[in-house]
C-alpha cells in the first residue's frame, strides 16, 4: 500500500478544473438532473433563530470526495435558497468547519476551515416566494484543501453549510430556508422525504454559535463543489411513496437500506455523475468495507485520486456515462438475503475522459446493511 | 479465527457477485427509471421584468463582450462558455470562468446588469438566471479572492416547515 501523499499533477487537475464542477449533494434525488419530488419542506436548522445548516461528511460513510491526489479539494458550495419573498435580498454566510472529537460540529472560530461572509441573493422585483439554485465558486485558485495528512482538518468529519442569520419574519412574510427531506422518525408529518431503516443517525446539524448545536433529522439540498466525479448509492423500496416518484433514494436509503424482509427488502443501485466528462467511460468496483487508500503510481498524471476499494476490488461493470449520468443495479428489491445484515459494502468508480486521456476516481461510499 | 474470517469474506463476496449478475439478468428495461432533468432553468426570471437600476446589454457580440486577443489582460474579465469575455463585476480580479459553475443547463446569454439592494451588481441572463463575481475575504488564505456565483431559477419551494425544528 502506498501512503496518502499530496502529489502535484497540475496539468491534470487544471484540465479537469477548467471545464465544469460537480456538486456533491446528499439528498434523495439528484438536484441537477432529476425533478425534486422528495422535498418534505423548506426549513431552517433552528426555526427563525440564527444557526448554520450543516451537512455532515463522515469518513465512515464517504471517502475521497473531491480527491485531488491526497487532499479533498473543495471548490465551492451548492445550495438551494427558498425565499419567502424574493424582492428582499437574503444575506448569509458559507461555512466549512471541523467536527468535534466527541461528534457534531466544532463551532469555535478556530474550527472554521472557511467562512465567506455576507453573501446575498440576486435581485428580483417579485413579491412572491421562490427558489434560487446557487452554485457558488471559490475558483481554481481558491480551492479549499481538507482531509489530508497534517492538514487543517483534525477529525474524520467535516461540515459544509450555510449560516443563516435570525429572521423573525420567517416563514410568515419573508426569509431564507433550505430544501430538505425529512427522516421517517422526524415526526413532522412529511409524506415524502427520506426512507431509511430504523435507527439511522441524523445526517445534518444545526450549528449554534455560543450555544448547544443539535443534529437534525433531515437532509438538505446542499453540498461542496468538487471537480471529481460523484458516486451515490441508491436504495429502492417499491413499497414506499416517500420519493414522490419512481426510482432510487440516493441518500439515506442507499446508506442505510432495510433488508430485514420484515417487511422491507430494499434493492441497491449505484449512480455516478460527472459534468466534466459527461460521456466518459465508467469502471465500477466494490469491496468489503473501506480499504486503505491506494494510489496507482503507474498511472500518475493519468488517474487522479485514490482507490478506497483496494488494489483488487470486485469488478462490477464497464460502461459509459450518458449525458453525465450512469446507473447500475446491484440488487433488485427482494434479493438481498437477511444474512447480509451487519455487512458493509463499499462502491467506487473511475470516470475516464477519453478525449483527454485523463481518469478520476469517484468518491467511495459504503452501504451499511 | 482467520480461516473463519476468510471463509465469511469469500461467502459475502460471492453473494455480491451473484446478486449483481442476477439483478442484471432479471432487470426489466423499465426498472430504476430516472426522471429526466426538468429543473426549470429555462423558465422566465422571478417576476419577469428587470428591476430599477438595470443596464440592458447587447448580445454577446456587443460592446462589453468578446475580445479574443490573448494578449489582453483578462484579470478583470469574466470568461463565458463560448470563449468570449465580459467585464468582471464588483471589481473582481481573477474570477473563475463562469462555465465552472454554470451547471448542467444550457448556456443563456447575458442581457443586462442589475444592482441589488445590497449593492451587488449581477448579470441577468436571458433565461432569468443571474451571475456575478465579487471579492470575498478568505481568512484561510489571508487575502481577498474572487468568487464566481451563479443563481438559476428553481422550482416553487415546498411548504415551509415552521414548527418542526427538533432539538435533541
Distance of CA B108 to the CA centre of its chain: 13
Average pLDDT, chain A: 92
Query: What is the rounded end-to-end Cα distance, in angstroms, of chain A?
Result: 28
CB contact under 8 A, B103 and A47: no
Cβ contacts from A onto B, under 8 A: 272
**Is the pLDDT confidence value at B135 over 60?**
yes
CB contact under 8 A, B101 and A135: yes
Given the C-alpha cell 421517517, which residue does it identify?
A184
CB contact under 8 A, A21 and B100: yes
Determine the pLDDT at residue B55. Answer: 57
Closest-CA distance, B67 to chain A, in angstroms, reads 19
Determine the pLDDT at residue A71. Answer: 84
∠ CA A34-A37-A43, nearest 5°, is: 115
Closest-CA distance, A359 to chain B, in angstroms, reads 18
Determine the pLDDT at residue A85. Answer: 98
Determine the pLDDT at residue A19. Answer: 59
DSSP state of A71: S
Confidence of residue B15 (pLDDT cuts 50, 70, 90): low
Cα dihedral A269, A21, A113, A154 sign: positive
Mean predicted confidence (pLDDT) in A9-36: 76
Determine the pLDDT at residue B47. Answer: 40
Average pLDDT, chain B: 71
Put simply, whether A250 touches B (Cβ < 8 Å) is no
Put simply, whether A324 touches B (Cβ < 8 Å) is yes
**Is the pLDDT confidence value at A4 over 70?**
no
Put simply, whether B10 touches A (Cβ < 8 Å) is no
Determine the pLDDT at residue A139. Answer: 75
Residue A143 vs residue A125, higher pLDDT: A125
**Chain B environment of A189 (Cβ under 8 Å):** 164
Least confident of A188-202, A210-224, B9-23: B9-23
pLDDT digits (tens, 9 = 90+) for A259-275: 999 999 999 999 999 99
Pairwise CA distance, residues A91 & B118, whole Å: 9
Cα dihedral A166, A168, A170, A175 sign: negative
Mean predicted confidence (pLDDT) in A329-346: 97
Determine the pLDDT at residue B72. Answer: 85
Mean predicted confidence (pLDDT) in A105-122: 95
Put simply, whether B142 touches A (Cβ < 8 Å) is no
**Is the pLDDT confidence value at B61 over 70?**
no
Least confident of A155-164, A204-213, B40-49, B118-127: B40-49
Given the C-alpha cell 489530508, which residue does it identify?
A148
CB contact under 8 A, B16 and A314: yes
Pairwise CA distance, residues A317 & B67, whole Å: 46
Q: Hey, what's the cell of A205? A: 446539524
Candidates A90, A116, A123: best to mutate against B (most CBs of B within 10 A) is A123
pLDDT digits (tens, 9 = 90+) for A200-242: 999 999 999 999 999 999 999 999 999 999 999 999 999 999 9
Determine the pLDDT at residue B124. Answer: 98
Put simply, whether A137 touches B (Cβ < 8 Å) is yes
Determine the pLDDT at residue A69. Answer: 86
Put simply, whether A75 touches B (Cβ < 8 Å) is yes
CB contact under 8 A, A119 and B149: yes
Least confident of A46-55, A67-76, A259-268, B11-20: B11-20
Is B126 in contact with B107 (CB distance < 8 Å)?
no
pLDDT digits (tens, 9 = 90+) for B109-120: 999 999 999 999
Confidence of residue B45 (pLDDT cuts 50, 70, 90): very low
CB contact under 8 A, B136 and A116: yes
A69 HSE (CA, 13 A, CB side): 19
Confidence of residue B69 (pLDDT cuts 50, 70, 90): low
Determine the pLDDT at residue B64. Answer: 45
**Chain B environment of A75 (Cβ under 8 Å):** 100
CB contact under 8 A, B161 and A43: yes
Confidence of residue B139 (pLDDT cuts 50, 70, 90): confident
**Chain B environment of A76 (Cβ under 8 Å):** 101, 147
Is A214 in contact with A204 (CB distance < 8 Å)?
no
**Is the pLDDT confidence value at A79 over 50?**
yes
Quote the percentage of chain A above a pLDDT of 90. Answer: 86
CB contact under 8 A, B149 and A135: yes
Put simply, whether A36 touches B (Cβ < 8 Å) is yes
Closest to A110 (Cα-Cα) out of A124, A101, A126, A99: A99
**Is the pLDDT confidence value at A10 over 50?**
no
**Is the pLDDT confidence value at B63 over 50?**
no
**CA closest to B10 among chain A residues:** A288
What count of other Cβ atoms lies within 10 Å of the Cβ of residue A89? 17
Cross-chain CB nearest to A171 (options B32, B33, B162) = B162
Pairwise CA distance, residues A363 & A278, whole Å: 17
Q: Is B125 helix (H, G, I), strand (E, B) or coil?
A: strand
Confidence of residue A349 (pLDDT cuts 50, 70, 90): very high
Mean predicted confidence (pLDDT) in A177-205: 97
Closest-CA distance, B47 to chain A, in angstroms, reads 4
Amino acid at each position: 500500500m502506498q501512503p496518502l501523499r499530496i502529489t502535484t499533477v497540475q496539468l491534470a487537475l487544471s484540465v479537469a478544473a477548467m471545464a465544469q464542477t460537480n456538486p456533491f449533494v446528499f439528498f434523495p434525488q439528484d438536484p441537477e438532473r432529476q425533478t425534486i419530488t422528495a422535498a418534505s419542506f423548506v426549513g431552517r436548522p433552528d426555526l427563525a433563530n440564527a444557526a448554520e445548516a450543516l451537512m455532515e461528511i463522515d469518513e465512515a460513510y464517504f471517502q475521497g470526495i473531491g480527491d485531488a491526489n491526497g487532499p479533498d479539494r473543495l471548490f465551492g458550495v451548492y445550495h438551494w435558497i427558498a425565499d419567502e419573498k424574493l424582492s428582499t435580498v437574503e444575506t448569509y454566510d458559507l461555512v466549512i468547519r471541523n467536527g468535534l472529537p466527541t461528534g457534531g460540529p466544532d463551532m469555535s472560530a478556530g474550527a472554521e476551515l472557511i467562512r465567506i461572509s455576507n453573501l446575498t441573493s440576486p435581485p428580483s422585483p417579485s413579491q412572491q416566494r421562490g427558489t434560487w439554485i446557487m452554485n457558488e465558486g471559490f475558483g481554481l485558485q481558491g480551492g479549499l484543501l481538507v482531509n489530508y495528512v497534517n492538514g487543517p482538518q483534525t477529525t474524520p468529519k467535516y461540515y459544509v453549510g450555510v449560516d443563516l442569520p435570525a429572521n423573525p419574519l420567517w416563514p410568515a412574510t419573508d426569509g431564507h430556508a433550505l430544501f430538505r427531506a425529512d427522516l421517517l422518525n422526524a415526526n413532522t408529518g412529511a409524506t415524502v422525504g427520506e426512507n431509511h431503516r430504523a435507527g439511522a443517525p441524523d445526517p445534518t446539524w444545526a450549528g449554534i454559535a455560543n450555544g448547544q448545536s443539535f443534529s437534525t433529522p433531515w437532509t438538505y439540498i446542499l453540498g461542496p463543489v468538487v471537480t471529481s466525479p460523484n458516486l451515490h448509492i441508491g436504495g429502492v423500496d417499491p413499497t414506499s411513496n416517500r420519493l414522490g416518484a419512481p426510482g432510487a433514494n440516493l441518500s439515506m436509503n442507499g446508506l442505510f437500506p432495510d433488508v430485514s424482509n420484515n417487511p422491507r427488502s430494499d434493492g441497491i443501485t449505484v449512480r455516478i455523475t460527472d459534468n466534466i466528462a459527461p460521456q466518459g467511460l465508467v469502471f465500477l468496483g466494490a469491496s468489503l468495507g473501506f480499504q486503505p487508500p491506494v494510489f496507482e503510481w503507474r498511472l500518475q498524471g493519468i488517474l487522479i485520486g485514490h482507490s478506497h476499494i483496494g488494489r483488487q476490488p470486485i469488478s462490477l461493470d464497464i460502461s459509459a456515462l450518458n449525458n453525465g449520468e450512469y446507473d447500475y443495479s446491484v440488487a433488485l428489491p427482494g434479493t438481498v438475503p437477511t444474512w447480509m445484515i451487519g455487512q458493509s459494502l463499499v462502491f467506487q468508480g473511475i470516470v475516464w475522459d477519453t478525449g483527454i486521456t485523463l481518469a478520476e476516481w469517484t468518491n467511495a461510499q459504503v452501504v451499511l446493511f | 479465527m482467520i480461516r473463519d474470517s476468510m471463509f465469511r469474506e469469500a461467502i459475502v463476496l460471492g453473494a455480491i457477485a451473484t446478486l449483481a449478475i442476477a439483478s442484471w439478468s432479471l432487470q426489466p428495461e423499465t426498472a430504476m427509471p430516472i426522471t429526466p432533468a426538468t429543473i426549470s432553468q429555462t423558465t422566465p426570471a422571478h417576476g419577469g421584468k428587470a428591476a430599477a437600476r438595470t443596464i440592458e446589454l447587447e448580445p454577446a457580440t456587443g460592446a462589453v463582450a468578446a475580445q479574443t486577443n490573448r494578449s489582453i489582460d483578462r484579470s478583470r474579465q469574466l470568461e463565458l462558455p463560448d470563449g468570449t469575455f465580459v467585464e468582471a463585476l464588483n471589481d473582481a480580479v481573477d474570477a473563475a470562468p463562469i462555465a465552472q459553475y454554470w451547471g448542467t443547463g444550457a448556456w443563456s446569454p447575458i442581457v443586462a446588469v442589475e444592482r441589488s439592494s445590497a449593492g451587488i451588481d449581477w448579470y441577468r441572463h436571458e433565461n432569468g438566471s443571474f451571475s456575478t463575481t465579487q471579492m470575498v475575504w478568505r481568512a484561510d488564505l489571508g487575502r481577498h479572492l474572487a468568487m464566481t456565483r451563479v443563481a438559476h431559477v428553481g422550482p416553487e419551494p415546498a411548504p415551509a416547515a415552521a414548527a418542526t425544528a427538533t432539538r435533541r
